[in-house]
Amino acid sequence: MSPTKVIFDTDPGIDDAMALLFLKSSPALELLGITTVLGNASIDTTTRNALFLRQHFDIVAPVARGAAVPLNGVIDPVPDMVHGANGLGDIPLPEINHSALHGLEASRFIVETVRANPGEVTIIAVGRMTNLALALRLDPEFAPLAKSVVIMGGAFGFNGHSGNVTPVAEANIHGDPLAADEVFAGNWKVTVIGLDVTQEALMSNAYLAQLRDGAGADGQLIWDMTRLYAKFYHDITGVDGVYGHDSLAVAYVIDPALFTTRSGPIRVVTEGLAIGQTIQQPDSRQFRPGPWSDLPSHNICIACDTPAILDLYMNTIVDAA
Ligand code: BDR
Ligand code: CA
């Protein structure tokens, strides 16, 4: 079977870097482009980081720079206590060759790449949904031409996970709730990998040491980057290791059978106390007409096979090293 064509929309970000290494190592996936968005750091920093990772991981696909501000124009402080001031755990970074930067802005790149490969491109979006929403605004007709959209974002309360920025909101959705609500209203097939499953997949420090020892320079890079990230998680939750977050979106595209899903339209709270909360109306029962009526159904992931996902991640990267 030919590999699935993928656009990776990202805000690197330590777990973004881990997911990109997984993606580029998988024979099941073909990376067509990396599009950047603000989030874990400013757009200048996430774009610089994407260019660095492209160079370090020997990726051929281009990087297209994306949104610098969310749709509501409100830029939150960057989460440097999570990802470091440079977005990659404050490891030293070399000079970056900017010649790999694509001439198109990210949303235009997404539209044109999907239109050039109708029915074939899966968009894996692991940052704020700003570029995707801008792509829908740019070309409202292009959405059904995407094969699928798989996002890391949101939280629906399964397995005790409901938020990481506020008690009800996950970071990628909280950072641009309007964009996420527009993406969920789009006429495409979306699968949501939220905290419900990503916080079930802890990569322990022992697991990361095994990756470091088995995956050469790339394994060492992931180890170095994750030191700050692991300290953050240890300090706030007491866990030993880091959550796989963005890598689970890649795992879903490689092997969806590792996840259990529930279908139904999804809305995002766009203002007030619960801003950024994601709420699905399950298709399995009827409700009175309301904000979810006449919207497309999407899948949310409510459970996953954690040991199999961790094995898939480790084996894919070590085999390719
Ligand atoms: C998400 O937020 C970002 O910090 C991570 O890169 C991940 O995409 C987790 O909530
Ligand atoms: Ca991310």
Q: What is the pLDDT of residues 135-169, one digit of tens each?
A: 999 999 999 999 999 999 999 999 999 999 999 99
Q: Using the predicted structure, report yes or no on whether residue 246 has a pLDDT greater than 90.
A: yes
Whether residue 175 has its Cβ less than 6 Å from ligand 1: no
CATH number at residue 67: 3.90.245.10
- For residue 59 and ligand 1, the question of a CB distance below 6 A is answered with no
The band of 195, judged by pLDDT with boundaries at 50, 70 and 90, is very high
Extended strands (E) in the chain? 4-10, 29-36, 63-64, 121-125, 148-152, 190-193, 202-203, 242-243, 259-264, 266-268, 278-280, 298-304
Query: Measured in angstroms, how far is the CA atom of residue 205 from the centroid of ligand 2?
Result: 20
Q: Which domain holds residue 215?
A: 8-320
Q: Which atom of ligand 1 is nearest to the CA of 246?
A: 8
What pTM was computed for the model?
0.97
Alpha carbon distances (Å) from 156 to 66, 152, 282: 28, 13, 11
Ligand with the closest atom to the CA of 244: 1
CA 142 to chain centre: 21
List all residues 6 or more positions away from 2 whose beta carbon is below 8 Å from its beta carbon. 30
pLDDT, residue 43, reads 97
**Is 315 part of any domain?**
yes
Q: How does pLDDT run across 16-67, given as a tens digit for each residue? A: 999 999 999 999 999 999 999 999 999 999 999 999 999 999 999 999 999 9
pLDDT, position 79: 85
Among protein residues, the one with the nearest Cα to ligand 1's atom 4 is: 40
Instruction: Give the pLDDT band (50/70/90) at residue 92.
Output: very high
CA of 174 to the centre of ligand 1 (A): 11
Q: List the beta strands (DSSP E) in 37-80.
A: 63-64
Q: Is the pLDDT of residue 1 over 90?
A: no
270 in any annotated domain:
yes
In a domain, 312, yes or no: yes
The phi-psi region of residue 241 (left if phi > 0; otherwise alpha if psi is between -120 and 50; otherwise beta) is: left
Residue 69 lies in a domain: yes
pLDDT digits (tens, 9 = 90+) for 281-320: 999 999 999 999 999 999 999 999 999 999 999 999 999 9
The answer to whether residue 82 scores a pLDDT higher than 90 is: no
Active site residue 98: no
Q: What percent of the chain has pLDDT over 70?
A: 100
DSSP strand pairing (202-203 vs 63-64): unpaired
Reference 199, options 258, 157, 143; nearest CA is 157
pLDDT at 45: 97
Q: Which ligand sits nearest to residue 9's alpha carbon?
A: 2
pLDDT band (50, 70, 90) for residue 205: very high
pLDDT for res 321: 94
Mean pLDDT, the chain, whole residue set? 97
Of 229, 232, 218, 172, the residue nearest 313 (C-alpha): 218
Domain count, the chain: 1
Is 1 within the bounds of a domain?
Answer: no
**Any domain includes 3:** no
Compute the distance between CA of residue 166 and CA of residue 222 in angstroms, rounded to an integer: 28
At residue 305, φ and ψ (nearest 5 deg) are: -95, 85
Confidence (pLDDT) at 100: 82
What is the gyration radius of the CA atoms in the chain, in angstroms? 18
- CB under 8 Å to 131, separation ≥6 — which residues? 9, 35, 37, 66, 67, 106, 107, 110, 125
**Which of these is catalytic: 161, 174, 245, 298?**
245
Write down the pLDDT at residue 9.
98
Bridge partners for 149 per DSSP: 123, 190
**284 part of a folded domain:** yes
Query: Is 105 a member of any domain?
Result: yes
Q: What separation in angstroms does the CA of 88 have from each of 15, 185, 193, 228?
A: 9, 33, 22, 9
